[in-house]
Amino acid sequence: MKAGLVDPAGRMLESAVYDTPADSTPGTVVTHMTEVIGEVARAAGIGVEMIDAVGVGVPGLIDSPTGVVRACVNLKDWHHVPLRDMLRDATGKPVIVDNDANAAAFGEFTVALQQSPELEHLALITLGTGVGAGVVLNRLVFHGGGGLAGEVGHMVVVPDGHLCACGQRGCLEQYCSATAIIRDATELIATGKRSLLAQTLGTGEAITTRHVFAAAANGDRMADKLIHDAARYLSIACINLCRVIDLQMIVLGGGVANAGEALLAPVRRAFEDQTWGIEGACEPTIGLSQLGNDAGYIGAAALAHAMLSHGA
C-alpha cells in the first residue's frame, strides 16, 4: 500500500509504503488507510484537516461512478466493496476510487499536460509482471461500458498464441511482459541456445529482465532478439490502438521499460514503417514514464483534484 500527499500542482510532498494488514477484510483495510492518511499528513507537517480529498487506485475491477470495488486482484475476499463510501465515512473527505492503472495513466497525463498544453489523448502501458494499461481520452480516464476499457495488455496480437490468465489466447501480455520475456529466455536456454543468460542460469540465479537487458548490451544475440520480439508485439498493439483512438502520446512504464531506447526505438520505427501518409495525420509521441512507481498515487490525487474542480 503506497500513500502520498500531493499538492494541486501534482507535486508529491510526502510518501510512504505500508504493508496491507494481514486481516485484509474491507473494514480493517479502510481503518488502516485512514491511519495512513493521518501519518502521511503528520510526516509532511500538516494537519489532516488540510487534506481536501482522497484519491485511491486499486488493482482490480472498479465501478468508478460509484467507487465500488467489484473485485480485487490481491485481496481475495473483496467483492462489491463500497470503498468510496466507506473511506468517505471514515475520513470525512470527498473520495474518488479508480483502477490503479487508470490512476497511473492519469498521473502521467497530468505531468505531460504541463509540458504539452495541447495534450488531450494519452495511453500508459506498464510492462511489468503483467501488462497494465490505462487510456485518457478528452482529458478524462476512459472506462468504457463495463469499466474494463484500456486493457491494452489483453489486445490479441498473435492468433492462437499463448494462453493468457484472462482466458484469451495471444494477448500482448503473453509477449512483452517481464514474465513472458523470462519464459521465452528459459525455453530457449533449455533448447541449448548459447547465451550469456545460460551462464546466469547456470550459477543458480533466477533470470530477470535486468539480466536480459545487460546481456543484450553486451552483444548477446539471444537476449537482443528477446527484446526485439517483445518490442515488435508491443509495436503492433500500439499501432492498432492509435488507429482506433488516434492517440497523441503513448507512455511506456514498468520494469521492462527500463530497457529504454532498446524498446522505444523499434516502436517508433514501426510507426515510421506503417505511416498512413495522410496530410495532417499525427503519429503519437512515444516516451517513457516520468513518474515511475509514483504514478499511481500522484494520478489518484490528480483524479481527486479533478473531481473537486468539476464540483463533483
Residue with Cβ nearer Zn ion (128 or 287):
128
- Which residues of this chain interact with Zn ion, rule CB under 5 A? 154, 164, 166, 168, 171
Residue with Cβ nearer Zn ion (172 or 252):
172
Task: Give the other-Cβ count within 10 Å of 278's Cβ.
Answer: 7
CA gap 52, 49 in Å, rounded: 8
Cβ 254 to Zn ion shortest distance, Å: 16
Cβ 127 to Zn ion shortest distance, Å: 14
Residue with Cβ nearer Zn ion (30 or 131):
131
Residue with Cβ nearer Zn ion (166 or 308):
166
Residue with Cβ nearer Zn ion (170 or 266):
170
Cβ 169 to Zn ion shortest distance, Å: 8
Cβ 212 to Zn ion shortest distance, Å: 22
Residue with Cβ nearer Zn ion (234 or 302):
234
Which residue carries 495541447 as its cell?
A: 118
Cβ 173 to Zn ion shortest distance, Å: 5
CB < 8 Å & 24+ apart, contacts of 193-197: 193/222, 194/222, 195/220, 195/221, 195/222, 195/223, 196/220, 196/223, 197/222, 197/223
Cβ 170 to Zn ion shortest distance, Å: 8
Cβ 162 to Zn ion shortest distance, Å: 9
CA torsion angle for 211, 164, 1, 146 (degrees, to 10)? Answer: 140
Residue with Cβ nearer Zn ion (166 or 190):
166
